[in-house]
Structure 1
Amino acid sequence: MSTDMYGVRVLAVDPDELRARFQVFVVYYDTGSRTHTPLPNEEPNTFLHFLWEAASGYLDDGDERKGPLGHVVSTDQLLDYEWADTNARRFISRVERVERRNYPLSDKQWEDMHDFYHERGGSWQDEDLLIQAEYEIQVTDRRWLEPLSVGDGWGSAAFPLNGDSWTAEDSPHIPDLARPAVTLRPFETTTGSVTYDHINGMDFSDDGTYLALCSDQGRVWVYDTADWSEVVHTRADGWLVPLMMWVPGGHILVVKDYSSGNEPEEEKQWAYDVDRRAETEAPFQAGNLRSRDGTYGISPNRAGEGGFDLHGDEREPSRRLSHAGTWDPIQCTAFSGDSSRLFLGAQQNLYVVDPMAGEVIDKVDHASKRLFTLASNEDGSYLAIGSFSRKLSYLEFGQERPHELCVWRMADKKIILGRQLRSYVDALSWSPDNRCLAAALEPLSKQSFHRGKTEVAIFPMGPVDD
């Protein structure tokens, strides 16, 4: 018999409007450590469990679920957490927490709490003491609500998951992470040893005509985005940690050493004219990242925060940027396509910078257990982020710790789309025309990392329901 995590009661139901209101109680506590099951967030899959449990009812003599949702969603599907993460939004299109009570519990309140609260006829002992919240849900079909009646109550062994919650309004602006349009395999066309090599840099040209890749060993590939054909495959040798950038306004690539900021940056680089298919000369590209229009760049600072300073065309940074006020090393960076925002991903925190003001204007605390790489769309309204998996608590991978590729909606700072990967996310780049997202993915391996196996998945915009 499973231990209930929540108690659920129906407060209102309107099948014609596809809406219902639930009261959800936390009924599992550890009074010794003063911890408890968290209240559900606003992602749909926990509520899919609630609806399924209520609408399906008990098993009948034929071992079949009686409710309409039980006929559509099997027990095996519901307990397949990857399936539930991806498909819950097909049944529940919106969840909004509208009220919360008794959270957090005070020391005095904890003294009155028990570890378990069991459902008895749709009620729970000391309901007024329990951590609880009310939720408005919107479903996709009135059938999912028809078995509900106001006052219904039941215990649930569901627990919070991390499912997709994007909407029809989001769809044109976000990538379909389930269906790569193209998969590029750059190392298949290379020669020589690829031991220790992998993709460490990737970027679309300013006009989106080309996608360029650079490897840790200085290999350079360029693909024509019209048909994804490989048009350049060359080598930029002699760089300790190669850093690749496009020269603003054209199709010239440069490769140079990554600057740590410990010493002034040496003005030395390799330049290649993609249109002419030849090495060339180009003005030195200062810093570690630039905005697409070339207005802003960033260089490591010495403020003791592990961050970056902003600069324009001048060599030395012109704006000291204090992103944290304390040591919080930045792991990944991205400008929005229109240069209005700079995103700084630390190990766990995400900072949003206004480059014009040179100030942090927003922050997401504990955005992830670890942020590795990120990319922004044109106006900074959506981010693609490669991070440690949010799903390791309920998906088993043994000693392997793969990444998850997520899409953030920055209007409300919510992860609305995520895919658990059997690979590591080495680099991300969002195309200027919002046509696709490119992701450099290094497969899991029992052997050492970086063996020339990285693939580049091109995800088109506009996920659709299966």
Structure 2
Amino acid sequence: MSTDMYGVRVLAVDPDELRVRFLVFAVYYDVASCTHIPLPNEEPNTFLHFLWEAASGYLGDGDERTGPLGRVVSTDQLLDYEWADTNARRFISRVERVELRNYPLTEAQWEKMYDFYYERDGSWKDEELLVQAEYEIRVTDRKWLEPLSVGDGWGSAAFPLNGDSWTAEDSPHLPDLARPAVTLRPYQTTTGSVTYDHITGMDFSDDGTYLALCSDQGRVWVYDTADWSEVVHTRAGDWIVPLMMWVPGGHILVVKGYSSGGEIEEEKQWAYDVDRRAEVDAPFQRGHLRSRDGAYRISPNGAGEGGFDVHGDEPEPSRRISHAGEWDPIQCTAFSGDSSRLFLGAQQNLYVVDPATGEVIDKVGDASKRLFTLASNGDGSYLAVGSFSRKLGYLDFREERPHELCVWRMADKKIILGRQLRTYVDALSWSPDGRWLAAALEPLAKKGFHEGRTELAIFPMGPVDD
């Protein structure tokens, strides 16, 4: 017999408006450690579980009411967490938490709490003490609300699955991570040894005409985004850790060596004019990353936080970014397309910087167990993130640790879209016109990785409900 995580009560139901309001109680606590099951986020899959329970005869002893949802969705489907994650939006279009109560519990409140609360005739002991919230749920068909009535209450063994919670308003700005428009395989046209080779850099040209890739061994590919044909495949020479960058305003690509904090960059680079298909001379491109308009560049500063300075074409004057006030080394970086924001991803924390001042203007603490790569849309309102998966706890990958590709809505700092991959995310880039998100994906391998097998997924905007 499963232990209930939540108690659910129907506060209002309006089939004509495809709407129901639930009051959800947390009923599973560990009083000794002052912790409890978190209340559901605004993700449809947990609420699909609630609706399914109500439609499958779980409303209470002697209550045999059922509904169409209980017949359409099988128990096996509901307990297949990948299926539920993918299909919940077929039944629920939107969830909004409208009121939160008794959170967080005070020390005095914890003294009155028990570890478990059991449902009795649709009610729970000491309901007024429980952590709880009201939710407004919109469904896709009125039949999914059968047989609910105001006052119904039941215990639920559902638990949060970190599912998608994007809305129709978000959709035009989000990549459809379930359906890449194109999958490119750059190493298919490669000769020579590819042992240990993988994609380390990827960026669209400023006008979005080209997408360039650079590998750990200095291989360079360029694709024409009009038809995704490969127009350049060459070598940029030998670099211990190659960095790739476009010269602002044109189609000249440079590759140079990585510089550590406190070092003066050696003005040595390889430059290639993609339009002319020829190596050329070009002004030296400073820094590790530049903004789309070329106004800002960042370089490691060696200042004790593991961070960066912001500067222009020349290293001085620069603005030192104190992102943490302590050692919290930055792992990944991205400018917004309009250059108004600089995103710095440490191992777990995400910092948002105004590059004009070098000041941290926002932070997401404990954003992930590990952040690997970032890409921002045009105005910084959405951020694509390759990170350690939130879902490995309930998906069966055993010793494998693939990444999750997520999209954050920065207005409320919520992950609203995520796709559990069976790959690692090596690099991300968002096109200047906002039409594409490119992801360099490294397949899992039982005997190591980085063996020239990276694939490039090109995701269009506009996820849809299956």
Q: TM-score, with normalisation over the residues of structure 1?
A: 0.96
Residue number in structure 2 paired with 1:256 = 256
CA distance in 2, matches of 1:202, 1:462: 22
Residue number in structure 2 paired with 1:195 = 195
Q: Any conservation in 2 of the 1:298–1:317 contact (CA below 8 Å)?
A: no
The one-letter amino acid of 2:301's match is N
The one-letter amino acid of 2:295's match is T
Q: Any conservation in 1 of the 2:66–2:147 contact (CA below 8 Å)?
A: no
Deviations 1:342-393 (A, max 9, x none): 1111111111111123211111111111110010111111111100001011
Q: Any conservation in 1 of the 2:54–2:66 contact (CA below 8 Å)?
A: no
CA distance in 1, matches of 2:391, 2:284: 43
Please identify, of 312-321 and 450-459, the stretch whose mean Cα deviation from structure 2 is larger: 312-321
Please identify, of 134-143 and 211-220, the stretch whose mean Cα deviation from structure 2 is larger: 134-143
Q: 1:95: Cα distance to partner?
A: 1.8
Deviations 1:209-263 (A, max 9, x none): 1111000010111111111111111111221100000000111010001122131
The one-letter amino acid of 2:309's match is D
Q: Any conservation in 1 of the 2:66–2:146 contact (CA below 8 Å)?
A: no
CA distance in 2, matches of 1:133, 1:157: 17
Q: Any conservation in 2 of the 1:65–1:71 contact (CA below 8 Å)?
A: no
CA distance in 2, matches of 1:243, 1:361: 28
**SS in structure 2 opposite 1:46?**
helix
Please identify, of 153-162 and 375-384, the stretch whose mean Cα deviation from structure 2 is larger: 375-384
Please identify, of 409-418 and 212-221, the stretch whose mean Cα deviation from structure 2 is larger: 409-418
**SS in structure 2 opposite 1:255?**
strand
CA distance in 2, matches of 1:244, 1:166: 33
- Where structure 1 has 5 or more consecutive residues not aligned to the other structure, the ranges are none
- Where structure 2 has 5 or more consecutive residues not aligned to the other structure, the ranges are none
Residue number in structure 2 paired with 1:183 = 183
1:66 is the counterpart of 2:66 = yes
Residue number in structure 2 paired with 1:47 = 47
CA distance in 2, matches of 1:231, 1:121: 69
CA distance in 2, matches of 1:318, 1:405: 33
CA distance in 2, matches of 1:214, 1:109: 57
The one-letter amino acid of 2:345's match is G
The one-letter amino acid of 2:277's match is R
Matches within 5 A, 1:142-157: 142-157=142-157
Residue number in structure 1 paired with 2:130 = 130
Please identify, of 366-375 and 159-168, the stretch whose mean Cα deviation from structure 2 is larger: 159-168
CA distance in 1, matches of 2:204, 2:343: 18
Residue number in structure 2 paired with 1:207 = 207
Q: 1:25: Cα distance to partner?
A: 1.1
CA distance in 2, matches of 1:7, 1:188: 54
The one-letter amino acid of 1:307's match is G
**SS in structure 2 opposite 1:256?**
strand
| Runs of 4+ residues over 4 Å off in structure 1 | none
Residue number in structure 2 paired with 1:107 = 107
Residue number in structure 2 paired with 1:2 = 2
CA gap of 1:279–1:65, structure 2 versus 1, over 3 A, is farther
Deviations 1:80-118 (A, max 9, x none): 111111222222222222222222223333333222211
1:441 is the counterpart of 2:441 = yes
The one-letter amino acid of 1:428's match is L
Q: 1:183: Cα distance to partner?
A: 0.9
Residue number in structure 2 paired with 1:83 = 83
